[in-house]
Amino acid sequence: MGEMNKKVNVISCIFLLSILSFNAQSQTIGVEAKAPAYKLPEMLISSKGEKIQTPEDWINIRRPEIITLFGEYVYGRFPGTCLEKKFETVKIDSNALCGKAVQKNIVACFIKDGDTIPMELLIFIPAHATKPVPLFVGMNFYGNQSILPDPGIPVTKSYVLNNPEYHIFNHTATEESRGADSSSWPVERILERGYGLATFCYDDLDPDFDDGFKNGIHSLLDYSEKNDSNELSSISAWAYGLTTAMDYFETDERINKNQIVVIGHSRLGKAALWAGAIDQRFAMVISNNSGCGGAALSRRIAGETVKDINTRFPHWFCKNFHDFNDKENEIPVDQHMLIGLIAPRPVYVGSAEQDEWADPYGEFLSLYHAGPAYTLFGLEILEKDTLPEINKPLWTGKMGYHIRTGGHAITRFDWEKYLDFADYHFDRKDK
C-alpha cells in the first residue's frame, strides 16, 4: 500500500511538473527565456544628449534624427523627390464585383530621363458610398489577380515577367493564379464594412531577389558606386511604392485622404512600418507578423536574427545593416523606435502564437517600448510588458496588439480586428 502511494505521488508529481512546464512554455512565447540581456537605445535622448520633453522637440529634433538613422543603417536612403511620377487611369468599372464595388486601375509611372517603371494600382471602393471612404492600402506578393478570382482584374505584368517559372500555390503566374492568395484578402468583407482597398504587387517596385540593387526602380537611380553602403534597399523601394500610392489617393475624391491605413504582412509588414513611420499622411499603421527588421526588437536575438535575415535576403536592407550581423547591440536604433516614429497616430501590431520566427514577444515589446514617444503627446500607453491572452486584442490609447492562435499568415481574424481598430479610431460607430 505504502509503495502504491509512493508511486501515485511520483506520478502526480510528474504530472504537476509537466503542467507547470507547459505553462512556463506558454508564457515564454517568442523564446523569451533565451533572450540575452540587452539595453535599448534611448528614444528620447537626442544625438547631442538632450532630453526630448515636448512634442515640438520630438517633431523637430528627435524624429528626423531617428529617420536618418534608420535610413543610414537599416533600410537605406529613400528616393525622395528625384523621380518624376505620373498617374494614368486605365479603367474605371462602376459595376465591379457583381455591383459591390467601383474598381479603378491606375498606373503610377516613375520616370527618369525618358525611362519609365510602372506600378499597377488596383483600387476597390464600396459601390454605394455617399462620401469619401477610409481605405486600407497594402502590397501583395503575387500580383493583383491573386487577391480575388475575378476576371476583371488585370494580371500584374511585373509579376509574370519576373517570375515566369514560379508557381503560386501550384498555379503558374498567369491567368491561372487568379485568387490564389484570396485567403489573405477578404475584399468583400472590407467593402461591406465601408472601407476601400488598394493594392499593388511589390515586384513593381523591386523584384524580390538579390541583383546588387539594379532592377526595379533602382534602375532609374544613379547612386554612386563608391557610396552605396546606405543605398535604397528593397524594403525602402517597396515602402516608396506605398507613399506613391498615397500621392495618388490625395487626388481621388472617392477616397478620404485623412483616413488611409497602411498595412502589410511579413516582409511587406516591414515595408508598411517603414512607410508609415516616414510618411505622416498615413493615418494608421498596421504590422502583421512583420518580425525581424519589422516590429520585433533586434536586440532580443530571438527567432530570426539580423544575421539570418541578411544572409537569406541580402537585398532587403542596406549594406550598412550587414555590419550588425551578430552585433545587434551596436545598431544605433532598435525597432521600438520605428514604432515610436508613428506617434501620435494609431498603430496596431498583430502576432501569431506559432510564428516564433517572427518573435511575437519581441513584436509586442517594441510596441511597449515605443511608449515614451506616445507619452510626449499625452497619450496612454501599454501598462505592462506581459503579453495579453491569446486571441484577446489589447487596445490602449493609440496602440493595438493581438496574438492569435495559428501561424505565419494574415487571416480573417486579423482583418476583423484591424477593421474594428480603424472603426474605433476613425470614430465610425454609426457608419
Q: Is 146 helix (H, G, I), strand (E, B) or coil?
A: helix
Residue 249 or 313 having the CB closest to ligand GTR: 313
H-helix or E-strand containing 199?
Answer: strand 196-201
Query: Cis link prior to 149 (omega < 30° from 0)?
Result: no
User: Is 266 marked active-site?
Assistant: yes
CB of 325 to ligand GTR, least distance (A): 14
Q: And the C-alpha cell for 66?
A: 531617428
Residue 177 or 266 having the CB closest to ligand GTR: 266
Strand pairing of 171-172 and 167-168?
Answer: antiparallel
- Interface residue with ligand GTR among 105, 266, 305, 320 (CB under 6 A) is 266
Instruction: Say how many CA atoms lie within 13 Å of 288 toward its Cβ.
Output: 24
Residue 102 or 173 having the CB closest to ligand GTR: 173
**Cβ–Cβ under 8 Å, residues 178 and 153:** yes
Number of residues forming the site for ligand GTR (CB under 6 A): 6
Chain positions 188 to 217 lying near ligand GTR, rule: CB under 6 A, are none
Q: What are phi and psi of 122, to 5 degrees?
A: -110, 130
Residue 12 or 311 having the CB closest to ligand GTR: 311
Choose the catalytic residue: 46, 219, 229, 408: 408
Residue 263 or 422 having the CB closest to ligand GTR: 263
Contacts of residue 420, defined as CB under 8 A and 6 or more positions apart, other chains included, come to 393
Residue 279 or 363 having the CB closest to ligand GTR: 363
CB of 60 to ligand GTR, least distance (A): 33
Choose the catalytic residue: 266, 290, 351, 366: 266
Distance CA 431, CA 420 (A): 12
CB of 292 to ligand GTR, least distance (A): 5
Q: What are phi and psi of 332, to 5 degrees?
A: -70, -10
The closest alpha carbon to 288, from 152, 126, 136, 408, belongs to: 408
Other C-beta atoms closer than 10 Å to the C-beta of 254 total 17
Query: What phi-psi label fits residue 331: left (phi over 0), alpha (psi between -120 and 50 degrees) or beta?
Result: beta
Residue 309 or 341 having the CB closest to ligand GTR: 309
CA dihedral sign, ordered 259, 101, 418, 236: negative
CB of 309 to ligand GTR, least distance (A): 6
Q: Is 109 helix (H, G, I), strand (E, B) or coil?
A: strand
User: Is 322 marked active-site?
Assistant: no
Distance CA 125, CA 195 (A): 7
Binding mask 280-319 for ligand GTR (x = CB under 6 A): -----------xx-----------x----x----------
Instruction: Say how many CA atoms lie within 13 Å of 135 toward its Cβ.
Output: 31
- The reply to whether 267 sits near ligand GTR by the rule CB under 6 A is yes
The closest alpha carbon to 74, from 230, 210, 223, belongs to: 230
Catalytic residue list: 266, 408
Task: Give the interface with ligand GTR as residue ranges (CB under 6 A).
Answer: 266-267, 291-292, 304, 309
